[in-house]
Structure 1
Amino acid sequence: MYYLKRDKLSEILKEFDPKDTADGSYYNAVLQNLFFATLNKAVTEREFAKLVDKRDIKTRYRYAEMFTISEEEVLNLFRPIPFLNGGLFECLDKEESTDGIKYHLDGFSRSDKRFPNGNFKHRAFIPNAVFFGDDKNEGLIPLLERYNFTVEENVPNEVQVALDPELLGNVFENLLGAFNPETQESARKQSGSFYTPKEIVAYMVDESLIAYLNNVLSDLDEETVRQLFEQEDLPESLVNDHNLCEKIAATLRCVKILDPACGSGAFPMGILNRMVEVLEKLDAKNKASHHDLKLHLIEECIYGVDIQTIAAQISKLRFFISLIVEQEAMDLSKPVENYGVLTLPNLETKFVAANTLIGMKKKKEGDFVNSLFTDPRIDETKQELMEVRKEHFYAKSAYKKKELREKDAKLRAELSKLLQDNDEFAPEDAIQFSQWNPYDQNASSPFFDPEWMFGLSKENGGLNSADDGYFDIVIGNPPYVDSETMIRSGQEVFRKYLKENYSYAEGNWDLFIVFIELAKKLTKINSIFSYIIPNKLISAKYGTKARSDLKRNDIIEIRDYSRLNVFTSADVYPVTFVIKKSNNPSDISPKFTIMNDIKSPQFSNNIGDVTLITDNSWDICFYNTDVFNLLMKLRTNNNVLKNLGSKVLGAATVNEAYLIKDKLKDSSYLPTSFKLINTGTIDSFISLWGIKKTQYIKGQYNTPVINKEEVKLINETRFTQSSNPKIIIAGMSSTIEAFLDVKGEYLAGKSTSIITDTIENLKVYLAILNSKVVHFYVNQIYNSLKMAGGYLNITPEIIKNIPIPLEYKNSKLIDIVNLIISNDSPSYYIEELNKVTFKLYNLTYEEVKIIDVDFSLSKQEYNEFEI
């Protein structure tokens, strides 16, 4: 481009130096005029601003004094560039008032007033060197010149040697972490936003659309629908059935789809491109152009919300690019007709910046769009407002958009007052209605309402629609923010609100769990919601309510990507789900799939009986039939520890842990003290106290001890527990590691669990906990809770739910435990112990080999082994 060539710029800009760090003429004279006065203004209406005080006219050229050429020559220079519209190139100057004086921030301003340090007071400044580089840095434009660019988005099965618009998603992810958090403009601020690879986007989009069509079109078989998406050509069964093709196309053209945390628009773009491909197959007569198809889908079908304004803007940018790529070649002889280039729509009411999780509180149950209010003026004003926004979608001139936006503001204010007077909303919520301005691209709304913002209605409408939603598909990648991060970043009030308004929010819940409930609320009955989320949904205790509720719907498929490096910049192990919201689940067999790579499944397990899926953990569902049946046998044919009368306890609260640390000493053990033991100094059957160093709250000890009386003062109950026999279990380990404190010599550290009972029972539990059966069970059942390196946080809850054989009180088992504890080389006895536990659990030889592939006995020897 002419505007990027530094040798040409020196001909039109006064004293232009591309390496200058004190001059910003390139940004002000070229880029600002290009974006705000050229791309945002009709070709025949372009002109220079004349009056200094007309700051509100932001579509006129400025900075004539920076050019070496006349104003007319500047206009001619920019003239071949078409008007694009779309709101993308609007000047987003902010106006703030301080002491009654209005200040313009980051202004497209002609004011040359400066601060004492030489910086402009009102004019945005970016030095030329940022774009062209200096002796030390390369600069943005030379960097971009190293790449080839395309405006066509690559699909998963196609790779071009170029940078496609998907790059915006990767840039967005990095921008979130890089922007200044003090400005509260675009910082990630622990937002938990990560960009989804396009292969996963493609899978989720396809499966959601397939499930939607299967649900809506009862006369269309699932195989045909799947062929429509998987085959390059139209399925044979549809080739000569134009009526059915049109019926499918009509169904797709009226779908309503939302991404409630759209980020940079990966899912909305994936949906748009995929639907165009499918509709093109179905349109055998080629009546609609790609541009018209995309425009219809953007206007009628696809919606996005994100709390960050930059996310909404990048999503809009990708949609604009997708429309631009469909333009015909320009005809420079027709400036009045914008050189034959179709202007872009305005997407302010298609992608909104808002807090999706906070809704409007209505005093009366019902539907804002469809309800019949007692005051007919509400319906009239509401309808007029929706018509204004529809008209604004296609508005092209700055004047027309300004006129419609002023009308929108007036109607919002009228409607707010009518709603307050009609007692439909609390006054503060009605005020929020009038304050939400869809055209303010700098602001993020503190609430979200699909009726108010998108003009949508619930499926059934009226007072009976409380359980129904607005969308046929809700899809996306919600933010992952754990409880600790939310509290640390000052979101206690927000967290309290979510706890009060979302039933899934229990325990130490992560933000994604609330987004799942939101998706279900926003989805119509018998429609689809699909997310990519952390695999903590599968087993985390805080996900119990979510699992219980989701199981009452139609789970179509859950895919486990946790073994793959999906998010290179995040320590997250994801799964995806596709679920149909249903009041009465059908006979669909939920499919649980382990992925071999990002595109190819390793294997799938169809669970015929959904009642077999417990709310405690879904990890069991991701195994082949043999392993699944074995885990079910262990779970259902035995008791669990919590039902046998033993106490399973966490060893110390956080407060106690710090009080203990203050009294801790590195000293020889005396009967008047407890040995402190923690994860890292616990092994199967033995304590490593004094053998390995103990890590405890950022401290390291060789022989940590604490006076018993000090413990008694800290917590008398803890003192009593420590003084008695108990099993102490390591808290962070790749498998269960437990030893028996027979004499009550140890104080268990903060990351451990303990079991108290009689010595006889404790020895039996010790054998079972350290057995291969239990190691296998825990590792499989809680696989999704594993951290990097395969480590698992062994909590009291996990211990309580360990299956214990019905005939667990076995004297031979106790004898073997005594031999293991008293022997320096117990490997032989440990092998014997495993043989006994295999028999106690009534395992077949084939089941034993699943647990221990190197099991030493033959089938005959094992069958003859008696306990």
Structure 2
Amino acid sequence: YKYNENFEKDKEIRNATNLIRLITRIIFIWFIKQKNLIPDKLFDKTYLKEIVKDFGKSTNYYNAILQNLFFATLNQKISDRAFANEGNFLENRTHFGIKTLYRYKELFKINEDEVLNLFKEVPFLNGGLFDCLDKDNIYIDGFSRNPEKRAKIEDSLFFKEEQETVDLSKYGMGKNKPIRGLIEILKTYNFTIDESTPIDQEVALDPELLGRIFENLLASFNPETSTTARKATGSYYTPREIVEYMVDESLKGYLNNSLSLKGFQPQVDGVVNEDDENSASPFVGDQGSSFPSCRGDKGVFLKWYQLPYNPSLKEKARELRKAGNLSEVLLWDQIKNKQFLGLDFDRQKIIGNYIVDFYCKDLGLVIEIDGISHNDKVEYDLERDTYLKNLGLTVIHISDLDVKNNLEGVMEFLKSEINKHPVPSGHPSTRGELTPPIEHSFTRGENIAAPSKREGVDKITMLLSYSDEIPELTEEEKKSIVKSISELKILDPACGSGAFPMGILHKLLLILQKIDPENKYWYKLQREKALQELDDVLNNEDSKERAELLSEINDAFDTKINHPDYARKLFLIENCIYGVDIQPIAIQISKLRFFISLIIDQNFDKQKDNFGIRPLPNLETKFVCANTLIGLNRPDGVLISAGVIKLEEDIKNLRHRYFQAKTRTQKLNLQKKDKELRDKLANELKKCGFSTEASQKIAQFDPYDQNASANWFDAEWMFGVKDGFDIVIGNPPYIQLQKDGGKLAKLYENQKYQTFARTGDIYTLFYEKGLQLLKLGGLLCYITSNKWMRAGYGEKLREFFTKHNPLLLIDLGPGVFENATVDTNILLIQKAQNKNYLKALTLQKIEEKSIAEQVQQNSVLLEKLNHDAWFIGSSAEQRLKEKIERIGNPLKDWDVKIYRGVLTGLNEAFIITTEKRNEILAHCKDEAERQRTEALIKPILRGRDIKRYHHQWAGLWVVGTFPALKLDIEQYPAIKKYFLDNFDIRQLEQSGKKYPELGFDARKKTGNKWFETQDQIAYYSEFEKEKVIYPNMTKFLPFIYDNNNFYTNQKCFILTSQLASLKYLTGYFNSKISHNWLRNNCPELQGGTRELSYIFFQNLPIPPITSENQPIVSQIEALVEKILAAKKQDPNTDTSHWEQEIDELVYRLYDLTMDEIKIIEGK
């Protein structure tokens, strides 16, 4: 069938995608079969032989049974099911393109009515999973009456019983693997339909494990590189315990933050609440009371507290008052001493971390003068204003120029604004009281995060626990929590199989189950929300649609029709959860898991319409296929017109209606209207100053096309989310940007990412994008590679994190991801001012204790973090690190030079054995040539040859035809003969050409000659000096002193110096204190190996040699000489007693205490 104009080009992509889609659909069917929604006989070989022609010997099963089940049954109302006309061209054209009608009656042994009867007990499900994707002349699903356009899949692929073996080595599964049909495989599993609990009650294939299967499927094919390699996509299945923990911590932070705005006082270490940015700091009122909130929902003061106050700003405020800015002085003269409306104003008032220009305590009013002499940066103003408004204060901005040029007009403006904000009832100034009573209509209970039934366990933690315990909450507290949940917006920017969105759904569901078991609060909120939306979008003529939509809500909550969880899940999915992924099939899989989750809470009843099953919602506008990392190019400083705002709202409301659309006619009509609105929006945006390209992108973004992937992402235009998300969570991919010739680096280098580094990894960009997508105070929680903590490319990211508020860092050791080749960590970070309160923990494995318990018992507090490597250690370990770095001088400040070993580009040609060296020398024609040739062939050490204080030379030599020598190969005929006798010259050439038919590729393209090494090696003379040699990647951190003119390969570094004592450095490098620092500061590779690249090694803090410590240094040098002499005699000689002496001398150089030494030695 036709997929696009270039059939062969995308064949592998097409086949892989279509196969995954097929498996997705069949496994979904297998799950709903457990609810008796599909008859077992459709998978019974004996029965199928009786009704399907040539069953088992053809492709008829897929066409006659599965395609008709997918497209004409599950995607069509029961009352509308029928066969498409099959006859001549004119008869057929009446049903052409209608993909919800049965086909292939010629493939059945039974008649048309019997076929309809076969499928009659299957309900209509909707949801888009079974939409036929054929369009015009593009046949993707191949559901066609035309045999030439029909998809063909052999029956044996569904029902084969291990009849043959196949080669699956391409997929990492080995050769000669026995295969079975898909249906036969599924029959061997006990399927269950519940994935909401963390522990399976039986050995079963549940949807969560299904997610794991699909994560492997997604990772098995990388459409960007057309390679079938799991690690190519950089995606890994995240263990359930990790997902649950990350979801819990994100929701705790969100709920505590959100509830604090409703009058509760949370206790979450380091989380900055939008109403009180320093919940973890000592901000107190003048009378020592905390400031949780000023006003209720209607502007009524609930409780009068003094404002939060940071005493460290007192001197700064005094300086600002003395500065006498002209516009401030002019306005102050008008409002001071209660001369303006009798109101009492303060100047340069400290509120929290901010100093505001003017503050009126009578009104809770802040006046800010904006101008060039003020810090008027947009982000700062937004953060400050949000903070002040969440305290219940009103903020008015006045232009500096207006004060100077039109002071009278400014005063009139202030009068009119103050008339809009009268002194609120209940305010102290209206009753002559200092502190008014709490508003009785809204009882404030105990701290929402206070310990409850179980000592030390806060209420929100209990709500998130799968235990039966329910915390004691007032009705108002319950209402507030339900409202906070209803307002939540959460995004997974690389959702894959949907593990994190599904984890969020289950935990929100759990909370609602506990605090609103009858759904009374949830129902009220959803009905009020729907009524508002209906008022906005429908006019009086739409009363029928209005009644239908309200009926839908009532039915969703009707426990006679559905389990109570159905309504909870439905509206959580519609209003709270969003996902993005670059792979269309990943979006399909995510939607599948949500469909299963909704199906299981519906009650099957044969007596009811559609057997009591509500058709599934359409999730096309909840999970979109797009490139999260490329934003829409918005023009700066553009004023959005009222027309754009109206169209945006219309599109948002239309997509809410599409979510519930049931029939194909409804959906097509709404899709058509959506397209019309997008076109209008594009035209309006162009009028506002948007480029044609950006406007067209918005117009052409079609969320309903399941095969399309947008090459950009924008939360406002795609989801209608303008103000940012409350939570961004996920496991973004790990792919080096420089792979595949730097393809990804080129794609993202112009996207203005602060954290971009060509040598970096794509997940660093996901961190930055995730924080951009958050609203102020929002939380990001990712699990990624932990390389950013120490890697050079992570420097920008570490600096970026310090500009926000990191809250929790868990470094995960090997074994958490079964098949991953990288170690990972979890970071929870808030889009807020950094409070330097980062809890951290190194977790080697998930033990019997939960992750939360281990964090609570073993975490440490990290402070003073910056762009340098992040090290997780106790306060004592951190103090020791600071001491070592304070006393030592970084290696980069020493008189040393560090060089990489020789990179030949073809080691099998340039690194030779002693036997081969002798053979080459034997072919020399005279002594002069022999001497020239012998001088060119150098002894070489590899990384693996470097041991502690000694080397194990393997008798290898390097043919040193370095380009820097500018050699004439004709002067070395024996070497030329060696090269040409043993290698094809095309392999030796440095052209970059590939010769797959010859089984080799040429070396990397350079300007060097065929007989020369790949690198210039202009520093070749350094190898023949006194030097220190060490491997570039090592688990054991060995260093050797060499004065025997050894060269090294590219797996080693050499260090030379004219002034520094290399024997002292050798002793220091091999010391315990050096190893401790290197392990804490150099990137850890798989298996505990450390990478000693210069960018890390250069910061090693070494005690400088002074007149005071020269005697200690001399002792170290003497001990190194003893060790070297002993190892020269016998490499296996035990020199540990001398090495211990060196360790003790190095401790003295740092003046370490016994407790500090114990830390170094792991005691």
TM-score range, shorter chain: 0.7 to 0.9
CA deviation map 1:468-515 (0-9, x unaligned)? xx1000000000112343437x44532434xx4211112510111111
**What is the alpha-carbon distance in structure 2 between the residues aligned to residue 365 and residue 606 of structure 1?**
45
* Residue of structure 1 aligned with 2:1088, choices 790, 797, 821: 790
Please tell me the residue identity of whatever aligns with 1:358.
I
Specify the SS of the correspondent of 2:659: helix
CA deviation map 1:5-31 (0-9, x unaligned)? 122223322x343x31xx122111111
* Residue of structure 1 aligned with 2:141, choices 106, 127, 134: 106
Q: Which residue of 2 aligns with 1:639?
A: 889
Q: What are the residue-to-residue correspondences of 1:419-568 with 2, within 5 Å?
A: 419-424=685-690, 426-458=691-723, 470-487=724-741, 490-491=743-744, 493-497=746-750, 500-563=751-814, 565-568=815-818
* Residue of structure 1 aligned with 2:92, choices 28, 52, 56: 52
Do the aligned residues in 2 keep the contact of 1:264 with 1:314 (CA within 8 Å)?
Answer: yes
Do the aligned residues in 1 keep the contact of 2:222 with 2:229 (CA within 8 Å)?
Answer: yes
Do the aligned residues in 2 keep the contact of 1:94 with 1:106 (CA within 8 Å)?
Answer: no
Q: What are the residue-to-residue correspondences of 1:307-322 with 2, within 5 Å?
A: 307-322=582-597
CA deviation map 1:295-336 (0-9, x unaligned)? 111010000000011110111111111111110232x233xx
* Residue of structure 2 aligned with 1:379, choices 645, 668, 672: 645
TM-score, structure 2 normalization = 0.64
**What is the alpha-carbon distance in structure 2 between the residues aligned to residue 471 and residue 741 of structure 1?**
58
Q: Which residue of 1 aligns with 2:1025?
A: 724
Supply the RMSD in Å over aligned alpha carbons: 2.9
Q: Which residue of 2 aligns with 1:67?
A: 108
Q: Which residue of 1 aligns with 2:319?
A: none
Q: What are the residue-to-residue correspondences of 1:115-264 with 2, within 5 Å?
A: 121-133=148-160, 135-136=163-164, 138-178=180-220, 190-218=232-260, 219-221=264-266, 222=449, 223-230=458-465, 232-233=467-468, 235-238=470-473, 241-264=474-497
Q: Which residue of 2 aligns with 1:7?
A: 46
Change (3 A) 1:853 1:261: closer
Specify the SS of the correspondent of 2:807: strand
Gaps of 5+ in 1: 96-101, 113-120, 459-469, 694-700, 855-867
Change (3 A) 1:502 1:181: closer
CA deviation map 1:196-241 (0-9, x unaligned)? 1111110000000001111222214333322322373465441xx1
Specify the SS of the correspondent of 2:92: coil
- Give the deviation of 1:710 after TM superposition: 6.9
Do the aligned residues in 1 keep the contact of 2:837 with 2:862 (CA within 8 Å)?
Answer: no
Specify the SS of the correspondent of 1:501: coil
CA deviation map 1:775-834 (0-9, x unaligned)? 22212333xx22233222211223211121244642222222222223334714333322
Do the aligned residues in 2 keep the contact of 1:41 with 1:83 (CA within 8 Å)?
Answer: yes
Q: Which residue of 2 aligns with 1:267?
A: 500
Change (3 A) 1:402 1:192: same
Change (3 A) 1:180 1:578: closer
**What is the alpha-carbon distance in structure 2 between the residues aligned to residue 224 and residue 568 of structure 1?**
34
Q: Which residue of 2 aligns with 1:327?
A: 602
Specify the SS of the correspondent of 1:686: coil
Change (3 A) 1:300 1:755: same
CA deviation map 1:127-160 (0-9, x unaligned)? 2222222654532222211222122114213433
CA deviation map 1:39-84 (0-9, x unaligned)? 1111111111124233310011111122233322222221221111
**What is the alpha-carbon distance in structure 2 between the residues aligned to residue 705 and residue 313 of structure 1?**
56
Please tell me the residue identity of whatever aligns with 1:436.
F
Q: Which residue of 2 aligns with 1:577?
A: 827
TM-score, structure 1 normalization = 0.85
Q: What are the residue-to-residue correspondences of 1:774-785 with 2, within 5 Å?
A: 774-782=1074-1082, 785=1083
Specify the SS of the correspondent of 2:944: coil
Do the aligned residues in 2 keep the contact of 1:648 with 1:753 (CA within 8 Å)?
Answer: yes
Q: Which residue of 2 aligns with 1:864?
A: none
Q: Which residue of 1 aligns with 2:839?
A: 590
Specify the SS of the correspondent of 2:84: coil
* Residue of structure 2 aligned with 1:740, choices 1007, 1018, 1041: 1041
Change (3 A) 1:722 1:324: same
Q: Which residue of 1 aligns with 2:680?
A: 414
* Residue of structure 2 aligned with 1:34, choices 54, 65, 69: 69
**What is the alpha-carbon distance in structure 1 between the residues aligned to residue 117 and residue 60 of structure 2?**
19
Larger C-alpha radius of gyration, 1 or 2?
Answer: 2
Specify the SS of the correspondent of 1:675: strand
Q: Which residue of 2 aligns with 1:85?
A: 126
**What is the alpha-carbon distance in structure 2 between the residues aligned to residue 628 and residue 5 of structure 1?**
66
- Give the deviation of 1:454 after TM superposition: 0.5
**Residue 291 (str. 1) matches residue 560 (str. 2):** no
CA deviation map 1:341-376 (0-9, x unaligned)? 11111100000111111110011346xxxx632xx4
**What is the alpha-carbon distance in structure 2 between the residues aligned to residue 185 and residue 392 of structure 1?**
37
Comparing 405-414 with 601-610, which one deviates more in the overlay?
601-610
Specify the SS of the correspondent of 1:68: coil
Change (3 A) 1:819 1:364: same
Please tell me the residue identity of whatever aligns with 1:357.
L
**What is the alpha-carbon distance in structure 2 between the residues aligned to residue 663 and residue 253 of structure 1?**
67
Please tell me the residue identity of whatever aligns with 2:880.
L
Q: Which residue of 2 aligns with 1:117?
A: none
Do the aligned residues in 1 keep the contact of 2:73 with 2:119 (CA within 8 Å)?
Answer: yes
Please tell me the residue identity of whatever aligns with 1:813.
I
**What is the alpha-carbon distance in structure 2 between the residues aligned to residue 181 and residue 609 of structure 1?**
41
- Give the deviation of 1:541 after TM superposition: 1.2
Please tell me the residue identity of whatever aligns with 1:722.
F
- Give the deviation of 1:180 after TM superposition: 8.7
Corresponding pairs, count = 790
Q: Which residue of 2 aligns with 1:676?
A: 940
Do the aligned residues in 2 keep the contact of 1:648 with 1:799 (CA within 8 Å)?
Answer: no
Specify the SS of the correspondent of 1:590: strand
Specify the SS of the correspondent of 1:372: coil
Do the aligned residues in 2 keep the contact of 1:176 with 1:186 (CA within 8 Å)?
Answer: no
Change (3 A) 1:495 1:359: closer
Please tell me the residue identity of whatever aligns with 1:778.
L
Please tell me the residue identity of whatever aligns with 1:733.
T
**Residue 357 (str. 1) matches residue 608 (str. 2):** no
Specify the SS of the correspondent of 1:143: helix
Change (3 A) 1:244 1:175: same
Do the aligned residues in 2 keep the contact of 1:257 with 1:474 (CA within 8 Å)?
Answer: yes
Q: Which residue of 1 aligns with 2:972?
A: none
Change (3 A) 1:829 1:188: closer
Please tell me the residue identity of whatever aligns with 1:108.
F
**What is the alpha-carbon distance in structure 2 between the residues aligned to residue 615 and residue 408 of structure 1?**
46
Do the aligned residues in 1 keep the contact of 2:221 with 2:233 (CA within 8 Å)?
Answer: no
**What is the alpha-carbon distance in structure 1 between the residues aligned to residue 228 and residue 580 of structure 2?**
15
CA deviation map 1:243-297 (0-9, x unaligned)? 1111011101110000000001000111001101001111154435211111111
